[in-house]
């Protein structure tokens, strides 16, 4: 039966697709043959466990299923649709070869309870990743266990705390954190049983050395710094900062979630840090942002190595590997088995494919791209604290607010109509109407130019027709939402809007 509402122009692009449960017709099907390697592929299920009736699933042909999921995949903006300049998040294109490697049957089909003798290849790969990350960061030992950046921070804080306790200093429980820090930093300090203490930045966005000297003391456990910091600026005084903190008996933690500016250029270990965590799901290309798996390994100095939790991958004299669980080290057990292996394998594939020279080039191009955008946009989006940036910059939309009554939120939402994801907004908190832009190295000159043109077009709209911005986005399947309500009362039903108030 035909119905003209099915063919309204625009619906094709803007509408939500029909539920898959109402599509298809009995008898339609798509076939995929199971893998056959000469052995029986599946044992017969015992009769008592078999379904008596066929499941009540929709019957669809392969093209119907393909179209359905392809349509679904385009409802959200994603890096394979367009630019995604989300600051402090390093949303770079993820090479397909990473996915192919992580999906190799000899890796993807392993079971975590399999005997160590069966997983030697995997352990060799993970050991190589540990060594590569130590080489990139300038440290002695690595734990791949943390499943997220914040979990790496927690483990790093735990390890520093364990060192102070071991040395008989339970009173060392204060961790200094600059006011430009990522919000997860103070949270991780608290969860590790310590107390965060805020350090105010200087007007140029860097740490105030006098304030630091005044803040350290016998209760100092350490300092947590992001370098380059969240303003996209390098802490030039880092060796002096390290000397002040070490002299006071503290340790230095680096939040290395985004190494995109410095990989292959400088190493946290050489700057005087004692611990660093990296987000493999940012710097090393694994996609993130949809709540998918991540990995936040930490690398540490020899002094802190004994406090890393097990299991440890240990190479034997015969070239084989064992997984050792050292007694007493399970108190920081934060993840089952040995971390998110699939994410680790993607990162290793990325590192090996780029090679040392390639990683240097990644950093150089990431910085070049950010500087190009800054140079082309700073007349309408001024950058508060700096003349120059590294892999990202934080602009302020204050003049848009004062002149046109347009907020940074409106700029971000309107960018969606131009096919670009919004930059990070309202972070870091120390910049008013902040707009944090990180293009990454994987965007071409043409794509950067499109972004510049979009921001300039939106600036003109703000001057002539600000209402367009207030109501944006206009061309996405779902318009502007009450974000607090959407998070607290998500409507996840395929049956359509629920009446849950
Ligand atoms: C993303 C990020 C984090 C947190 O990482 P998660 O994996 O989201 O927990 C911490 N610090 C900085 C600087 C980040 O950009």
Tell me the pLDDT tens digit for each residue of 5-64: 656 555 455 556 677 788 888 889 888 877 776 765 556 778 888 888 888 888 999 999
More confident residue, 206 or 276: 276
Dist CA 480 CA 409 (whole Å): 11
* HEC assignment per residue over 168-206: CCCCCCEEEEECCCCCHHHHHHHHCCCEEEEECECCCCC
pLDDT digits 0-9 by tens, 425-463: 998 888 999 999 999 999 999 999 999 999 999 999 999
Nearest-atom number in ligand 1 for the CA of 181 is 13
Which pair of tokens denotes residue 230?
């969240």
- Spell out the CATH class of 98-351: alpha beta
CA 102 to chain centre: 18
* HEC assignment per residue over 111-177: CCCCCHHHHHHHHHHHHHHHHHHHHHHCCCEEECCCCCHHHHHHHHHHHHHHHHHHCCCCCCCEEEE
Question: Which of the four pLDDT bands, split at 50, 70 and 90, describes residue 310?
Answer: confident
Q: What is the largest CA-CA distance in the chain?
A: 80
Distance in Å, CA 281 to ligand 1 centroid: 10
Half-sphere exposure of residue 434: CA atoms within 13 angstroms, side-chain side: 22
Dist CA 244 CA 170 (whole Å): 21
Distance in Å, CA 69 to ligand 1 centroid: 30
Nearest-atom number in ligand 1 for the CA of 282 is 1
DSSP class of residue 71 equals: H
Residues of the chain with CATH 3.90.1150.10: 356-473
Mean pLDDT comparison of 23-27, 38-42, 136-140, 328-332, highest-scoring range: 136-140
Lowest mean pLDDT segment, chosen from 197-201, 331-335, 360-364, 471-475: 331-335
182 lines ligand 1 (CB under 6 A): yes
Nearest-atom number in ligand 1 for the CA of 184 is 10
Entry pTM: 0.90
pLDDT score of 99: 93
Nearest residue (CA) to ligand 1, atom 2: 257
Distance in Å, CA 424 to ligand 1 centroid: 13
Dist CA 10 CA 275 (whole Å): 53
Dist CA 252 CA 274 (whole Å): 5
Q: What is the average pLDDT score of the chain? A: 89
Torsion angles phi and psi, residue 349, rounded to 5: -60, -40
pLDDT score of 5: 63
pLDDT score of 46: 83
Answer yes or no: are the C-beta atoms of 323 and 311 closer than 8 Å: yes
pLDDT score of 76: 84
- The domain defined by 356-473 carries CATH number 3.90.1150.10: yes
150 lines ligand 1 (CB under 6 A): yes
Mean pLDDT along residues 132-154: 96
Distance in Å, CA 180 to ligand 1 centroid: 13
283 lines ligand 1 (CB under 6 A): no
Distance in Å, CA 226 to ligand 1 centroid: 10
* Residue listed under structure tokens 């008996």: 249
pLDDT score of 289: 67
pLDDT score of 419: 92
pLDDT score of 332: 56
Half-sphere exposure of residue 162: CA atoms within 13 angstroms, side-chain side: 18
CA 358 to chain centre: 21
Answer yes or no: are the C-beta atoms of 143 and 308 closer than 8 Å: yes
pLDDT digits 0-9 by tens, 368-420: 999 999 999 999 999 976 778 999 999 999 999 999 999 999 999 999 999 99
Sheet containing 298-300: which strands, arranged edge to edge?
A: 141-143, 298-300, 275-278, 251-256, 220-226, 174-178, 195-199
pLDDT digits 0-9 by tens, 239-256: 999 999 999 999 999 999
Per-residue pLDDT for 499 more than 60? no
Could you tell me what percent of the chain has a pLDDT over 90?
A: 64
229 lines ligand 1 (CB under 6 A): no
Per-residue pLDDT for 272 more than 90? yes
Residues of the chain with CATH 3.40.640.10: 98-351
Strand, coil or helix: what is 278?
A: strand
Distance in Å, CA 111 to ligand 1 centroid: 29
Per-residue pLDDT for 142 more than 50? yes
Distance in Å, CA 88 to ligand 1 centroid: 8
Half-sphere exposure of residue 279: CA atoms within 13 angstroms, side-chain side: 25
**Which ranges in 378-465 belong to alpha helices (H)?**
398-404, 408-417, 445-464
- In 3D space, the residue among 50, 62, 300 whose CA is nearest the CA of residue 160 turns out to be 300
294 lines ligand 1 (CB under 6 A): yes
Strand, coil or helix: what is 237?
A: coil
**Which ranges in 184-321 belong to alpha helices (H)?**
184-191, 209-215, 238-247, 268-271
Dist CA 362 CA 358 (whole Å): 6
């Amino acid at each position: 039966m035909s119905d003209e509402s099915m063919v309204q122009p625009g619906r094709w692009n803007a509408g939500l697709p029909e539920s898959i449960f109402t599509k298809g017709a009995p008898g339609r099907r798509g076939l995929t043959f199971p893998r056959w390697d000469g052995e029986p592929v599946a044992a017969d299920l015992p009769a008592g466990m078999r379904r008596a009736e066929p499941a009540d699933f929709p019957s669809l042909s392969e093209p119907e299923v393909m179209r359905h999921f392809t349509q679904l995949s385009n409802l959200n903006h994603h890096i394979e649709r367009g630019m995604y300049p989300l600051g402090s998040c390093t949303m770079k294109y993820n090479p397909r070869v990473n996915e192919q490697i992580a999906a190799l049957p000899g890796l993807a089909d392993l079971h975590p309870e399999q005997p160590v003798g069966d997983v030697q290849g995997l352990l060799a790969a993970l050991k190589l990743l540990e060594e590569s990350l130590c080489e990139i960061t300038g440290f002695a030992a690595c734990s791949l266990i943390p499943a997220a950046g914040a979990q790496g921070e927690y483990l790093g804080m735990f390890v520093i705390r364990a060192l102070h306790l071991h040395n008989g200093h339970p009173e060392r429980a204060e961790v200094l954190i600059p006011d430009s820090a990522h919000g997860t930093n103070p949270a991780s300090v608290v969860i590790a049983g310590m107390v965060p203490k805020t350090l105010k930045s200087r007007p140029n966005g860097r740490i105030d050395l006098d304030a630091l000297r005044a803040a350290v003391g016998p209760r100092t456990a350490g300092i947590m710094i992001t370098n380059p910091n969240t303003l996209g600026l390098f802490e030039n005084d880092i060796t002096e900062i390290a000397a002040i903190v070490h002299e006071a008996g503290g340790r230095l933690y680096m939040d290395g979630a985004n190494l995109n500016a410095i990989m292959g250029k400088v190493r946290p270990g050489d700057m005087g840090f004692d611990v660093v965590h990296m987000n493999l799901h940012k710097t090393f290309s694994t996609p993130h942002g949809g709540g998918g798996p991540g990995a936040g390994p930490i690398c540490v100095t020899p002094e802190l190595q004994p406090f890393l939790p097990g299991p440890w991958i240990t190479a034997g004299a015969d070239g084989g590997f064992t997984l050792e669980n050292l007694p007493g080290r399970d108190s920081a057990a934060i993840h089952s088995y040995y971390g998110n292996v699939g994410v680790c394998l993607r990162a290793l594939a990325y590192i090996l494919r780029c090679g040392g020279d390639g990683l240097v080039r990644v950093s150089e191009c990431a910085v070049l791209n950010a500087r190009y955008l800054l140079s082309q946009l700073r007349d309408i989006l001024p950058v508060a604290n700096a003349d120059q940036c590294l892999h990202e910059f934080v602009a302020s939309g204050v003049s848009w607010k004062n002149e046109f009554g347009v907020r940074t939120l409106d700029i971000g939402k309107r960018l969606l109509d131009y096919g670009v994801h919004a930059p990070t907004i309202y972070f870091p908190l120390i910049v008013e109407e902040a707009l944090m832009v990180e293009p990454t190295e994987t965007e071409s000159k043409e794509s950067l130019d499109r972004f510049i043109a979009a921001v300039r077009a939106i600036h003109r709209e703000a001057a002539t027709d600000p209402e367009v911005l207030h109501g944006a986005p206009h061309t996405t399947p779902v318009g502007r939402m009450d974000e607090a309500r959407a998070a607290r009362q998500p409507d996840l039903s395929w049956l359509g809007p629920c009446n849950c108030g």
